Amino acid sequence: MIIEKIKLHDDPNVILTAYIQTPSEEMKATMIKPGMLILPGGGYQFCSDREAEVIALCYLKEGYQCFILNYSLNEKSKYPQPLIDSEMALRLIRKNKDKWYLDPGKIAVIGFSAGAHLATMLATSGKERPNALIVGYPAYFPIPEINYDYPLPVVDELTPDTFIFHTYSDSFVPVRNALYLANGLDEHKIPFEIHVFRDGGHGLSLGNNLVLDEFEDPMIRHYARWFVLSVEWLNRVLSPFNQ
């Protein structure tokens, strides 16, 4: 395993962290791997740890080369700067396909909450776009409590296949955010899969005891199935190892 941190531009806090699995002659069929760009949430005020490295470790186990982007935050997060950050990250990932043993045509992006907003902006209006989009409890509409008011993503015909997960009982980012995206995808005939779980609050990440201090609600275990479902979906959409 090689872990590499790359500063993308003059802001020292905008960093792409690459987690690269080294190839093995014993596993020739999986030497060239798909990629996963991870955009943590945090209301454009911080990047949540529970939506960063723990997510990378899970997708690494599934055979992905993983990349976590700490994008522009707070007073530096005025649009389009975070989108420029994510475009730069995706372009760099594809440029280094040989160095990082990547298939440049099989790069997915996953985002959570505000990171899901950024991931969707990248997938719907980016100059460099992913091949698949995964969004968890996406925040598209203004959130007065944190002065969250960023451009509303608009699906177009170039938007990739999309996987959406949310909870009905999320009171901080209502489920209508996820339904808004699903409706836009449907209008443009972009294939998508959506899972709205009945129970669970906001920011659950994996929904297990790795990321939650108090893990007692059995219904959150039901929500936690989103990860396995996302891997099954990626196998169909990207055919990462020609499955």
Class of domain 2-237: alpha beta
Cα–Cα dist 58/56, whole Å:
5
pLDDT tens-digit map of 141-176: 988 878 778 999 999 999 999 999 999 999 999 999
User: What ranges make up the beta strands (E) of the chain?
Assistant: 2-7, 15-20, 33-39, 65-70, 102-112, 132-136, 162-167, 192-197
Is the pLDDT confidence value at 243 over 70?
Answer: no
Cβ count near 171 (within 10 Å): 8
Q: What is the pTM of this model?
A: 0.96
For the chain, percent of residues with pLDDT exceeding 70:
97
Query: Can you tell me the mean pLDDT for 186-198?
Result: 97
pLDDT band at 1 (very low <50, low <70, confident <90, very high): very high
* Helix, strand or coil, per DSSP, at residue 177: helix
Q: Which of 34-43, 101-110, 155-164, 200-209 has the lowest mean pLDDT?
A: 200-209
Is the pLDDT confidence value at 214 over 90?
Answer: no
The full length of the chain comes to 243
Cα–Cα dist 49/36, whole Å:
17
Token code pair at residue 137 = 């409890």
User: What pLDDT score was predicted for residue 25?
Assistant: 82
Which residues in 193-230 are b (16+ Cβ under 10 Å) and which e?
bbbebeebebbbbbbeeebbeeeeeeebeebbebbeeb
Q: Which residues contact 181 (CB under 8 A, 6 or more apart)?
A: 120, 135, 138, 140, 153, 155, 162, 164, 192
Is the pLDDT confidence value at 221 over 90?
Answer: no
Is the pLDDT confidence value at 59 over 80?
Answer: yes
Q: Which residues pair with 37 in a beta bridge?
A: 67, 109
Query: Is 134 within 8 Å of 110 (Cβ atoms)?
Result: yes
Query: Is 219 within 8 Å of 206 (Cβ atoms)?
Result: no
pLDDT band at 211 (very low <50, low <70, confident <90, very high): confident
